[in-house]
Structure 1
Amino acid sequence: MSEPVQETPDLYGAYPRLGDWAISLLSGHGVRRPTEVGEVLYQEGEPCPAFYVILAGKVAVVERYDDEENLRGIHGPGRFLGELGLLTGQAGFLRGVVREAGEVLVVPVEELRALVADNPSLGDVILRAFLIRRTILIELGAGFRIIGSRHSADSRRLREFAARNRLPHKWIELEEDKEAEQLLDHLGFTPKDIPVAILRGERVLRNPSNAELARAIGLPVPLAREIVGDLVIVGAGPAGLAAAVYGASEGLSTVVLDSVATGGQAATSSRIENYLGFPSGISGGELAERAVIQAEKFGAHFSVPAEAVSLSRHDRYYVVGLDEGRVVNAHAVVIATGARYRKLDVPHLEEFEGEGVYYAATLFEAQLCLRAPVVVVGGGNSAGQASIFLARHAGRVRLLVRSGDLAKDMSRYLIDEIQRNPGIQVLLNTEIEELVGDRELRGVITRNNRTGERREIEAMAIFVFIGAEPHTRWLRGEIALDDKGFVLTGPDALKAAGEKEPWHETGRPYPLETNLMGVFAVGDVRGGSIKRVASAVGEGSMAIRLIHEHLQTAGQPPT
């Protein structure tokens, strides 16, 4: 295979060169060694053994699949290798092969993680490059393969799990790819066996569960059958991640659980532009990944996927029951399970969910409707951010808003950007009454709630961002909820508790505390919360201070 010898240009800061100061700093934590042509420094399917800085010579980064190689880049002196999985412990998606003999600086992974955490200047260069490289891999369709059908619920489940966890992968559509069925036959499967995940060309998983795929890729390992700690955080959105960072950094043994992925709804946002400290904005996925690395630096343990199904009290501990029979015991609990967008009240909606009706707007969904007309439903910031993002991929975006004023629930900066974008049309006082299509969505019937006028709008996809329903079904019977299912805290929890707890003797509950002492609720799942990333982060950090007070009064020092 002939390949160009020149270096790959730097793309958006993905392949920066380290200055002499950075190499000098890294040299104190690694060793220099020569390289030979053809030497494999690291390979796909396995965690990268070390962090490599090229001092002399060139290294090619390639992807191997079915005895074929795709060149993803050639890098020379001053550049460093690897991507986000190096910091998170995931299996690699590419291999590094020496193209021209030279010398590399080899830094152990644990040493790199410490340097990234303790040296802001170096850490930001490396982390930023790793995050961009992960995005590039996703856009290229690198990584493992998923063979399936858009009409298969398990195929959609697996794709969504990979997308929410920002795992590079290539989707092979059984109905559209002529070679897909031949590939299945070669692997010894039939279309009835889909979805099939192919890792590193030789390891094949037939209709794996999310947990099985997570283990194969190297996501945080599931918990042992039983674990005891100071704090368990259920939900890894902005509120849960903030609680994890502050809890672990202040000495609490901290476990974080999430049923799908870290980041919550915020991770589905292409760009958050009003978050403090990021004047040019930051994607929700990048914000979540930075927070996870930060929390793990302090010792927090993440388990994804791990779905909480029950909460109970046993002796001095709270017991969070998980799917598959596992449990986590902790002195304190933070409920941060967030909320999901409500569904449209229209006939036959479920027939199109995952096949034209979506509740997130990430690159995964955008790739399903390239250059096609789409509809976004909602009047809040999430709908605004989705409209702006989709306008870069879809043929045309129509934003349907039930109220007559876009400024009622949307931030001004988003309104201004929408109004400047010729690819977005805003329809106020507009609601969807019917979906048009047979097996595939073709459009919607809308009604103007002021004039009564009905019209048909062409749409290959609908993105729904209306209201919110809290993830609290697993708490019913244990935690006091309001009439909409949100968790009651503070004075509201006191009213619900009545005489069941000795609140009046303790001056409790605390502001974020539920009707159970030591159980706190933060973020969107809490009744009366402000649905903003910044406020969720504030509540998550505030809860840790209150937990310390709770542990002190209960005579339970951190372990």
Structure 2
Amino acid sequence: MRWPDELTESPDLQGAYPRLSDTQMRTLAAHGERRPAHRDDVLFAEGDPCAAFFVVLSGKVATVKGYGVDDQVIRVHGAGRFLGELNVLTGQASFVTGVVAEDGEVLDVPVDELRRLVADDEILGDLVMRAYLIRRSMLIGLGAGFRIVGSRYSQDCRRLREFAARNRLPHRWIDLEQDAEVERFLSRMGITPAETPVVIWRGELVLRNPTNAELARAIGLPAPSARETVCDLLIVGAGPAGLAAAVYGASEGLATVVLDSVALGGQAGTSSRIENYLGFPAGISGGELAERAMIQARKFGAELSVPAEACALREHEGYHLVTLKEGTTVHARTLLIVTGVRYRRLDVPDLERFEGISVHYAATEFEAQMCSRDPVVVVGGGNSAGQAALFLARQVASVRLLVRDGELTRNMSRYLAVEIEQHPGIQVMLNTQVRRLAGRETLEAVVVENNVTGEQSTVEARAMFVFIGAEPYTRWLADEIALDSQGYILTGLDAARSGRKGVLDSTGRPFPLETSRAGVFAAGDVRHGSIKRVASAVGEGAMAVRLVHEHLR
């Protein structure tokens, strides 16, 4: 690698590159090994799992993007700084390469030792966690990691990009429609259009039109075990309720397994900013909240698998058997269903033609990048629609919020409605419904109708974000569990009234979150009568673990 004549240590940005105190250095030294570091030594390589936590004792170490291909130095670290990012704690592959830039010495601490220290030492743990979360966000912004090469009009390309974005995996998308050189490269490699999108990793072709599970395995996401698994508590769904249950279940000694079909965080994970969650006065993104909860659950020994889609439920010899899409089966003494809801689709012609390209059901950095500097419309009158409109207004040309009702505060929190009404980049259109979509390969405009006057008009839009309510994700349960008329899971007294028998508590009543099947519980948005708030979902997840203990006793 060609190094510049002078390497200057990078400044500490927002606490991403702090210097360890003497006390913290001594603590880490007691659990690690000092080793010499010579110029051009590779401490960890892009694409490889991280086996150690490195602290620079002397000399300098650089983190390099595209090492061996285009060698872009991202940061330079001097004495007292530690290396790595979130992958050190999650077990994912490294998204950059650590290369010694100036002779010196490093401290090599095994990853398992670091995880234990982070769990036991609150100050050190907070320092490392904060730095790693910020570094992950920076890597995403820099486009480090793997490459997804495909057409903007490909639904498979959209699927992979969304999976990577929802799981906050650093990557860069290369659009075949705009980069002729990449298209020629793929042609030389003998790759046909039917085999795109492709994933390129470390400068090598790795996967041709992979499934989400194949990409997850390549990156190091914890996939489901190929063998049958037996556990005390199986949690299907990794939204706030599921992650809370994972933390409490694992910390209280239950062998806990968590499955999710897409990403940790559930629908909350797609929220750009949660502003009314207790303890975060400045707000917190759904993705960061999910990452913090994931690391906390793993600290206590919970096993989390993504993507892992539950397809069927049955009972056998006292165990609840959940079959996964991959064909494996998990045997659980107790089961918690927290599969949440899926956003409803608009009933308009040609919707499917634009889905995955111009019509979205989440508003994250991923979607915002796709429609940067374009006019967009947001459809819906609830908090999800309001949060999406505010987030998008910071990054796109203009936002029109289309609300079916005549008042913005009918289904939206007042503080959010006031903020939207005062925002100069958002135009609110009340009593408005979408009637038709216009465009060829991508969306160009939406035809809307005023439901009071009947007048129709055309609104320019390159993307449409839909938040018009949701329906529970319970089809995989078939008739194994009692549901209400809308498909939500009945629990407690509602489940008892369904005519099925559950387990009674000390008062002679069914456990509050228990379903019509003894030992199967439900929490969060998927449950009949639940309050659709992150805080209540977290509370129900914690409460469910308490009831699981009662059931097992």
Superposition TM-score, scaled by structure 2 size: 0.97
Alpha-carbon distance change, 276 to 502 in structure 1, aligned in 2, over 3 angstroms: closer
State which of 123, 126, 131 in structure 1 corresponds to 2:125: 123
Residue 377 of structure 2: SS of its match in structure 1? strand
Gaps of 5+ in 1: 553-559
**Cα shift at 1:2:** 4.8
**Cα shift at 1:503:** 6.0
Counterpart in the other structure of 2:408: 406
User: 2:503·2:510 contact (CA, 8 Å) conserved in 1?
Assistant: no
Counterpart in the other structure of 1:176: 178
**Cα shift at 1:65:** 6.1
**Cα shift at 1:66:** 6.8
Counterpart in the other structure of 1:556: none
State which of 62, 87, 92 in structure 2 corresponds to 1:85: 87
- Give me the CA root mean square deviation: 1.6
**Cα shift at 1:375:** 0.7
**Cα shift at 1:272:** 0.9
1:322-377 alpha-carbon deviations (Å, 9 max, x no partner): 11211000111000000011011111111100111000111111110011101111
**Cα shift at 1:506:** 8.4
Counterpart in the other structure of 2:354: 352
- Opposite residue 120 of structure 2, the aligned amino acid is D
Instruction: Quote the Cα distance in structure 1 between the aligned partners of 2:421 and 2:55.
Output: 46
* Map 1:502-513 → 2, pairs under 5 A: 507-513=508-514
User: 2:321·2:330 contact (CA, 8 Å) conserved in 1?
Assistant: yes
Residue 520 of structure 1: SS of its match in structure 2? strand
Instruction: Quote the Cα distance in structure 2 between the aligned partners of 1:111 and 1:74.
Output: 25
Residue 370 of structure 1: SS of its match in structure 2? coil
Counterpart in the other structure of 2:11: 9
State which of 104, 107, 111 in structure 1 corresponds to 2:109: 107
Alpha-carbon distance change, 404 to 94 in structure 1, aligned in 2, over 3 angstroms: same
Counterpart in the other structure of 1:51: 53
Counterpart in the other structure of 2:279: 277
User: 1:184·1:191 contact (CA, 8 Å) conserved in 2?
Assistant: no
Instruction: Quote the Cα distance in structure 2 between the aligned partners of 1:90 and 1:31.
Output: 23
**Cα shift at 1:459:** 0.7
Instruction: Quote the Cα distance in structure 2 between the aligned partners of 1:385 and 1:36.
Output: 50
User: 1:181·1:190 contact (CA, 8 Å) conserved in 2?
Assistant: no
* Map 1:526-537 → 2, pairs under 5 A: 526-537=527-538
User: 2:505·2:511 contact (CA, 8 Å) conserved in 1?
Assistant: no
* Map 1:198-277 → 2, pairs under 5 A: 198-277=200-279
**Cα shift at 1:412:** 2.9
Alpha-carbon distance change, 15 to 186 in structure 1, aligned in 2, over 3 angstroms: farther
**Cα shift at 1:271:** 1.3
- Opposite residue 35 of structure 1, the aligned amino acid is A
Alpha-carbon distance change, 104 to 281 in structure 1, aligned in 2, over 3 angstroms: same
Residue 239 of structure 1: SS of its match in structure 2? helix
User: 1:494·1:503 contact (CA, 8 Å) conserved in 2?
Assistant: no
Pick which of 218-227 and 479-488 moved more: 218-227
Counterpart in the other structure of 2:526: 525
- Opposite residue 16 of structure 2, the aligned amino acid is A
Instruction: Quote the Cα distance in structure 2 between the aligned partners of 1:273 and 1:503.
Output: 38
Counterpart in the other structure of 1:74: 76
- Opposite residue 289 of structure 1, the aligned amino acid is E
Alpha-carbon distance change, 190 to 502 in structure 1, aligned in 2, over 3 angstroms: closer
Residue 324 of structure 1: SS of its match in structure 2? coil
Pick which of 239-248 and 405-414 moved more: 405-414
Counterpart in the other structure of 1:154: 156
**Cα shift at 1:151:** 2.0
Instruction: Quote the Cα distance in structure 2 between the aligned partners of 1:370 and 1:178.
Output: 22
Pick which of 64-73 and 148-157 moved more: 64-73
- Opposite residue 205 of structure 1, the aligned amino acid is L
Counterpart in the other structure of 1:555: none
User: 1:401·1:426 contact (CA, 8 Å) conserved in 2?
Assistant: yes
Residue 436 of structure 2: SS of its match in structure 1? strand
Instruction: Quote the Cα distance in structure 2 between the aligned partners of 1:348 and 1:301.
Output: 41
Alpha-carbon distance change, 36 to 542 in structure 1, aligned in 2, over 3 angstroms: same
State which of 138, 161, 166 in structure 2 corresponds to 1:164: 166
Residue 311 of structure 2: SS of its match in structure 1? strand
1:75-96 alpha-carbon deviations (Å, 9 max, x no partner): 2122211011110111101111
**Cα shift at 1:502:** 7.4
User: 2:504·2:511 contact (CA, 8 Å) conserved in 1?
Assistant: no
Pick which of 304-313 and 110-119 moved more: 110-119
Counterpart in the other structure of 1:428: 430
Instruction: Quote the Cα distance in structure 2 between the aligned partners of 1:50 and 1:503.
Output: 49
User: 1:479·1:516 contact (CA, 8 Å) conserved in 2?
Assistant: yes
- Opposite residue 219 of structure 1, the aligned amino acid is L
How many residues in Structure 1 have an aligned counterpart in Structure 2? 551
> How many percent identity over aligned positions?
65
1:218-259 alpha-carbon deviations (Å, 9 max, x no partner): 001322331111110000000000111111111111110111
Pick which of 89-98 and 116-125 moved more: 116-125
Pick which of 15-24 and 298-307 moved more: 15-24
Tell whether 2:481 aligns with 1:476.
Answer: no
